[in-house]
Structure 1
Amino acid sequence: MNITVYGIANCDTVKKARAWLDERGLAYHFHDFRKAGVPAQRLDAWTAAVGWEKLVNRQGTTWRKLEPARQAAVRDEAAAQRLMQAEPSVVKRPVVEWPGGRTTVGFDASAWEALADGRRR
């Protein structure tokens, strides 16, 4: 299994994450939410792995532009998944699937270093 990076190509955090992987010579597949959408079956796996609360980016522009009633409706996993399918840029980025079944959300160089070291062995 290879590394798969999910996100939006022009997102600064995704750019940093992809540059980090490139600098270390780690091969990965990039899935662009804007071009290919948020894959529903992966969304199920991500919410099981990290929880829906971690996946919904409440700090981002997309969330802040939502109507208050639409924000308030996100109270459980089903509602969060519907929103993430409808508004892919509300997903915190990047979501990364690592070999061995580990999923991370966001970019954390120190945590990624440990995951990358395990992959190189």
Structure 2
Amino acid sequence: MISVYAYKNCDTCRKALKWLKENGVPREVKAIRETPPTAQELMVAVESHGGDLRPLFNTSGGDYRDLGLKDKLPGMSVADAVSLLSENGNLVKRPFVIGEGVVLVGFKEDEWKAKLGKG
């Protein structure tokens, strides 16, 4: 089973959840703002992106802009970035999906089909 971190008012999250339901993918949905991904889950995601932190951040969000992360992120350590993400679900790009051998950030249907073997 996969864990899907989503925000109920996010159109992309709603599309992703609909896709998962239509394709019969077992999932546990978690409210990303109230229960952000854990530091351990985020480290798995960082590793799956070759150490690149940027794909994990919701760069279009207000919190990202308010914290000036566009300028700070390039000089930030992985540990500091993961800590920040694990404490503020608004900073995490959504939906954020993690499960056995699967990490997905954002909703790209073709990528989801390939990784989840559906569609």
Give yes or no for TM over 0.5. yes
CA distance in 2, matches of 1:14, 1:23: 14
Q: 2:54 maps to what in 1?
A: 53
Distance of 1:90 and 1:15 partners within structure 2 = 18
Unaligned runs of 5+ residues in structure 2 are none
**In angstroms, what is the RMSD of aligned CA positions?**
2.2
The structure that is helix-richer by fraction is 1
Three-state SS of the structure 2 residue aligned to 1:31 is strand
Q: Given the alignment of the two structures, is residue 19 of structure 1 paired with residue 11 of structure 2, yes or no?
A: no
The Cα offsets for residues 56-112 of structure 1, whole Å up to 9 and x where unpaired, read as 12222321233x3x553322312322321332111111111244x121111001111
Structure 1 Cα separation of the partners of residues 38 and 99 of structure 2 = 17
* Cα distance in 1 between the residues matched to 2:71 and 2:80: 10
Q: Distance in 2 between matches of 1:48 and 1:92?
A: 16
Q: Percent identity?
A: 31
Tell me how far 1:26 sits from its aligned partner: 1.7
Q: Deviations over 1:20-73 (max 9, x none)?
A: 11112222111222222331221121111123221012222321233x3x5533
**Matches of 1:102 and 1:38 in 2, distance apart?**
14
Give the structure 2 partner of residue 84 of structure 1: 85
Aligned CA distance change for structure 1 residues 114 and 56 (closer, same or farther; 3 Å): same
Rounded Cα–Cα distance in structure 2 between residues aligned with 1:71 and 1:83? 14
Is the Cα contact below 8 Å between 2:39 and 2:83 reproduced in 1? no
| TM-score normalised by L of structure 2 | 0.79
Name the aligned partner's letter for residue 9 of structure 1: K
Structure 1 residues not aligned, in runs of 5+: none
